[in-house]
Amino acid sequence: MSNNQQPQQSSEEIDLGQLFQLIGNAFKKLFAFIASIFKGVFHVLMLFLLFIQKHFIKFVIAGVIGIGLGIFLDIKNDQKYISSMVVEPNFNSVQQLYNNVTFYNELAKAEDSITLANSLNITTTEAASIMKMEIESYSDENQKVLLFDKFIRELDSTTVKNLDFDAYLENFNTFDARFHKINLISTNSTVAKKAQPAIVKSISSNTYFKEQKATNDKNIGFQEEIYNQQLNEIISLQELYKDVMVKEASKEIGGTNISLADNGGGKNKEIELLKERDELKQKIVELNLEKANKATILNVISDFPTRGAKLGGVMSQYKFMLPIVLVNILLVFLLLMELNKVLKKYPGK
C-alpha cells in the first residue's frame, strides 16, 4: 500500500510544480509586456523632445511672430463689451419687445447709425459703436413649474385632466417665459446704459398697452375697495358676536337667551368669520402683489450696468490665440516633413 501511495504523491507534486511554473511564466510575460509599453512610451517621448530641441528656434520665432501680429490686431480691432438687462413684460407686450429689439439689431447690422441713434436717443457715434442686440427668454425649471401651475388654475377640470407638465413643456415657447434678457454688444462700454430709457419707453409709451394698464389699475382699485368693504363688515360682525356672547354670559341661567348665542352658535359664527377674515387677508396680499408687479408696462428686473463687461476671455485676444495657432501649424508642418523623410528611406520603396 505504501509503495502505491508514494508514486501518486510524487505525481501530484510534479503537477503542482508545473502549475506554479506556468503561473510564474505568465506573470513574467505580463510584466515584460507592461515594461515594453513603458519603454515604448519613453522612447516616443524622447524622440519628441529631441524633435523639439532640433526645431526649438523655429518654434520660438513662430511664437514671437504670433505675439507681434496678435498685438497689432488687438490694437487695430476695438474691444467689444457686452451688457445685459433682465425685464418682465406685462399686458402681453412681450411680442412688441421682441419686435423692437429685432428692429434695433437690424439697424446695427445695416450700420444705419442715424436711425438707430434716433430710436435709442443716443448720439450717432454711440449708435455706430453698437454691433449687435439680441433678446432671449430667461427662465429655469422652477419658473416653468410656477407658470404651469398658474396656467392650469385658469382651466376647467376636464381640460386639466388631459394636460400634463411634459405636454406643457413641449408647447412652451419663448413668449411664455416671465423674464427676458436683452444683450447689447458694443465697442462702447457705456452706450447700453444710455440706450436703456429709450428701450423701456418704446414699450411703456405704446397707446394700446397704456390703455390695458389703465383698465387693469381700475379693476385692481375696484377689487381693492370690495375687499376692504368686506373686511370692515367682517370686523363689525366679529364685534357684534363678541358683544352678544358677553351679554349672554352675564345673564342668569333662567333668563332670556339671545338667539345668536344659542348652543354655542355665536362662538361657531365667530370662528367662521375668523376663517373668512384670513382668506380675505390672503386675497388682499395677492392683490397687492399683482398691483406691484403690474405697476409698469415693462418691469426692469436688472438694469444695464454702468459699464459693460469685456466680451470673451483672455484666450479670445489675438496676442494669446495667434502664437498658439502658428506654433501648432509649424509643428504639423515639421512632423509631415519628418514623415516624408522616413517614407523616402523606407526599404519597400
Q: Hey, where are the domains in the chain? A: 2-74+318-344, 81-139+177-310
**The predicted structure's pLDDT at residue 305:** 94
What is residue 178's three-state secondary structure? coil
**The predicted structure's pLDDT at residue 250:** 73
**The predicted structure's pLDDT at residue 73:** 80
* Tens digit of each residue's pLDDT (9 = 90 or more) over 128-183: 999 999 998 876 566 656 666 666 666 656 655 566 656 655 555 577 788 999 99
The phi-psi region of residue 117 (left if phi > 0; otherwise alpha if psi is between -120 and 50; otherwise beta) is: alpha
Neighbours of 303 (CB within 10 A): 15
**The predicted structure's pLDDT at residue 76:** 73
Q: pTM higher than 0.75, yes or no?
A: no
Neighbours of 256 (CB within 10 A): 7
**The predicted structure's pLDDT at residue 169:** 57
3-state helix, strand, coil in the chain (%, to 5): 70, 10, 20
**The predicted structure's pLDDT at residue 108:** 94
Q: Tell me the pLDDT of the chain (349 aa) as tens digits.
A: 455 555 555 555 556 677 777 887 888 888 888 988 998 899 889 888 888 888 899 889 989 998 888 888 877 777 889 999 999 999 989 999 999 999 999 999 999 999 999 999 999 999 999 999 999 887 656 665 666 666 666 665 665 556 665 665 555 557 778 899 999 999 999 999 999 999 999 999 999 999 999 999 999 999 989 988 888 888 888 777 777 777 776 764 445 554 544 445 555 777 787 888 888 888 888 889 989 989 999 999 999 999 998 876 666 677 888 889 999 999 999 888 888 887 777 776 5
**The predicted structure's pLDDT at residue 104:** 96
Distance CA 136, CA 291 (A): 26
**The predicted structure's pLDDT at residue 28:** 84
**C-alpha distance from residue 332 to each of 35, 167, 199, 338 (Å):** 30, 52, 51, 10
**The predicted structure's pLDDT at residue 145:** 62
Distance CA 71, CA 140 (A): 41
Strands (E), 250-325: 298-302, 309-310
What is residue 186's three-state secondary structure? strand
